[in-house]
Structures are given as C-alpha cells and as structure tokens.
Structure 1
C-alpha cells in the first residue's frame, strides 16, 4: 500500500514530502509492533534501550551521560527511565565513590534475565520485518537511511 493510500491523499505528494511521510509512518509502525512485544514485560522501548546499553557494559557501571549519548531517542529523560527501572529491580544506582555528583548505574541479574527472555522474541521480530527484503536490499536500505540521516 502506498503512503498516499494510507493517508488517503487525493493528490500526488511531492517526492521529498512522500519520503519523509514514508519514513515517519514506517517508524511509527515499527515502534507500535515493538511496543506490543514489550507490553507483557511492562517495559517501554526506551527502558529496553537502557537495559541493552547497560548489558553492553559487561558488568561495568555506566553514568547517566554515557547512557544518554547511546540512547536511540536522544530526547529521552534518562533519569526518569533509570528511576522506573530501579523501582522494577532491573538496575541499581549508586553514587560514584570518586565523584559524589556522578551516579553509576548497573543492570541487575533480574534485568539480564529479562533481556535473555526478550532476546529471542526481539530477534524473531527483527527477522520477520527484514524477511521481505533480500540481504542486498537491506544493505542498500541501510546505506540510504544513513545517507539521508547525515544531512
């Protein structure tokens, strides 16, 4: 289905507008489908992103600015996200012994277990989304998206 059909446009869209609308609509669709996977686990996509960042630290603590710079959504309120994960027992937060203004965040065993449970579902979801394109098309799409994003 074309973007014009989806938004029920009666006139053709200018190519730049069509491109932006296609990207935005696709991003929303991807976000909704991903949220459906996370919903039974009572975490948001942003919280999931924080957990994955912390898992990638391989047992080393991360401060708030490291988490923020690695977030997919740069507008996320990292402190609020960490607070919610803390209440769920998925992360710990401690004051840095060397700098009392700095907070160190680490993923807990419960957080790691949650990611281990989610990993196969997320992998299957991503594989399903990619299944309509060949490997060459996926490479080309990534190249185009990176080129488009680096204006």
Structure 2
C-alpha cells in the first residue's frame, strides 16, 4: 500500500520528505511485526538482538559494553536486558577475570536451542518486505548510502 494511503496524506513538501516519512512509517511497521513474532517466544526484539550478537561470538564470551556497541537500538538498557535473559536461563553472566567492573556474557544451551527454534521462523522475517533478492540488496545499498 502506498504511504499516501497508509497515512491519508496526499501532499508532501518534496520527494525527500516523502521518502523519510515512508521510511519512518515502515520502520514502525517492521518493529510491530518483529514484536509480534518474538512475543510468541517470550522475548523482545532487543533481547533477540542480544542473543544474535552472542550467537555470532559463540562459544566465546563478550562483554556487556561490546554488546551495547553492536545493538541495533543503541538506547537499550543492556544491563536490564541481560538481567532478564539471565532470569530466562538463556545466557550466563560472569565477572570478567581481568576487569572486575565488566562482565563476560555467554549463551547457555537453552539460549542456543531458543535461537534454533526462532531460526525456523526466520524466513517469515526475511520475506516480510516482499522483495526479490535483487530489490532487497538494492534497498540495503540505498540505506547504506543514505547514512553516508
């Protein structure tokens, strides 16, 4: 559906304003789809982001500071998110032996299993935009370009 129809607005100052509004609207739409999917796994998109970061490091640990630097949502309260994931037994958090102020974080077997289960639904997320591979790559390149 066209952005004009979605927000019931036919006029924009220019093509750039329309693109920005369309992008913001689409981001919110995508976040809603992600929230709905992850709710069925009793996690939030931010928690999933942490689990994916940890999966990329597995079996090595990673610091909470490094996790924060890799988050898609840089405003997330990583410490609180880690506490919730610890309470769900999907990660472990240990004091760093070289820096007592830091903590090392690892996935548990339950965390790996949760990610395997979510991976079965990954194609739903990947295909949510209804784009061909070529279109998805073009969109990604345009987004990279727009950030400079």
Question: Normalised by the size of structure 2, how large is the TM-score?
Answer: 0.93
Please tell me whether residue 37 in structure 1 is matched to residue 37 in structure 2.
yes
The alignment yields a C-alpha RMSD, in angstroms, of 1.4
Cα drift, residue 133 of structure 1: 2.5
Report the secondary structure of 2:131's partner residue. Answer: coil
Contact 1:4 / 1:13 at 8 angstroms: preserved in 2? no
Matched ranges for 1:1-151 at <5 A: 1-126=1-126, 128-130=127-129, 132-150=130-148
Cα drift, residue 37 of structure 1: 1.1
Unpaired runs of 5+ residues, structure 1, are none
Cα drift, residue 129 of structure 1: 2.1
Report the secondary structure of 1:92's partner residue. Answer: strand
User: Using the alignment, how far apart are the partners of 2:95 and 2:82 within structure 1?
Assistant: 14
Cα drift, residue 10 of structure 1: 4.6
- Tell which deviates more after alignment, 45-54 or 97-106: 97-106
Cα drift, residue 75 of structure 1: 1.0
How many residues align? The count is 148
Question: Normalised by the size of structure 1, how large is the TM-score?
Answer: 0.91
Cα drift, residue 147 of structure 1: 0.4
Contact 1:90 / 1:111 at 8 angstroms: preserved in 2? yes
Report the secondary structure of 1:41's partner residue. Answer: coil
Cα drift, residue 65 of structure 1: 1.2
User: Using the alignment, how far apart are the partners of 1:119 and 1:46 within structure 2?
Assistant: 16
Superposed CA deviations along residues 102-140 of structure 1, whole A, max 9, x for unmatched, are 1111111111110000001023331x225x323222221
